[in-house]
Amino acid sequence: MTLGDDSPGDDALDDSADDERLGRSGAYSKGVARRQEILNRAIDVFAERGADGASLRSIARALGVSHAALLHYFDSREQLLVAVYDHANRQRPPAPDATALSSLTDAAEHNTSVPGLVELYTTLVATSLKEDSATAREYFTARFARLREDLAARLRQEQADGLVRADCDPDQVAALLIAASDGLQVQWLLDPSLPLARSLGALGGLLAPPR
């Protein structure tokens, strides 16, 4: 277990923080290339064969390596999947000057456009709730906290600018926005006929200041 000898300087997270973060990135050039390859192929396998079909052996087969090779780059399947999700998200750099709502709508649009992404996200959130979840829990708590902070700041600004009604707490609304976006994506995946964007838009209407 990674419990007995959690060596000082947990190298799974804090090395080469500028580019990639989860799991060992290779020291040799072949290694870093493989790592990218894994991340890229894994999302495909996930999209094609679903969460259950994306076993370590299945992903490894798609790459022509053994499943042990994957565990050389990532401590666990969980960590691999988190890295895949993280990787998929870094493909879409966030627009810094977007509205709180529009940034969420954009993200939702992106998620629903990449096959398998919402399923991956939901799967990972579910595993992050398990008590013994190692990587996922840490990752998503941090992600939610960061997102809430970011959105709350945006909302405060928009309140000051008169774009958002003033009689609501930005912190609560930030949590609310994220929750609504996540929940709607799930509902949409179960029933794609739902107008995801429009529902989020309705929330925008509720946030607009009274005229």
Partner DNA sequence: CCAGAAAACCGACCAGTGGATGCTTTCTCT
Partner DNA sequence: AGAGAAAGCATCCACTGGTCGGTTTTCTGG
Mapping DSSP to helix (H, G, I), strand (E, B) and coil, where does residue 23 land?
coil
Binding-site member from 13, 41, 58, 110 for DNA (CB under 7 A)? 58
In the complex with DNA, the residue whose CB is nearer, 99 or 127, is 127
55 binds, among DNA, a second copy, none (CB under 5 to 8 A by kind): DNA
What letter represents residue 131's amino acid?
A: E
Binding of residue 1 to a second copy (CB under 8 A): no
Neighbours of 129 (CB within 10 A): 10
Binding of residue 16 to DNA (CB under 7 A): no
CB of 76 to DNA, least distance (A): 3
- Whether 116 contacts 46, CB under 8 Å: yes
In the complex with a second copy, the residue whose CB is nearer, 30 or 198, is 198
In the complex with DNA, the residue whose CB is nearer, 55 or 112, is 55
CB of 131 to a second copy, least distance (A): 5
104 binds, among DNA, a second copy, none (CB under 5 to 8 A by kind): none
Residue 1 is classified by DSSP as -
210 binds, among a second copy, DNA, none (CB under 5 to 8 A by kind): a second copy
150 binds, among DNA, a second copy, none (CB under 5 to 8 A by kind): none
The Cα 136–Cα 118 span in angstroms is 15
Binding-site member from 12, 69, 114, 118 for DNA (CB under 7 A)? 69
Total binding residues toward a second copy, as defined by CB under 8 A? 51
Chain centre to alpha carbon of residue 37: 19
Chain centre to alpha carbon of residue 51: 15
Chain centre to alpha carbon of residue 177: 16
In the complex with DNA, the residue whose CB is nearer, 57 or 146, is 57
C-alpha distances in Å from residue 188, one per residue of 4, 73, 111, 128, 194: 43, 34, 11, 22, 6
Identify the residue whose tokens are 């396998």. Answer: 45
CB of 70 to a second copy, least distance (A): 20
Residues 90-129 that bind a second copy (CB under 8 A): 118-119, 122-123, 125-126, 128-129
- Whether 19 contacts 83, CB under 8 Å: no
Mapping DSSP to helix (H, G, I), strand (E, B) and coil, where does residue 15 land?
coil
Q: To the nearest 10°, report the CA torsion of 32, 33, 39, 43.
A: 180
Residue numbers of the site for DNA (CB under 7 A)? Answer: 1-2, 24, 26-32, 34, 54-58, 60, 64-69, 71-73, 75-78
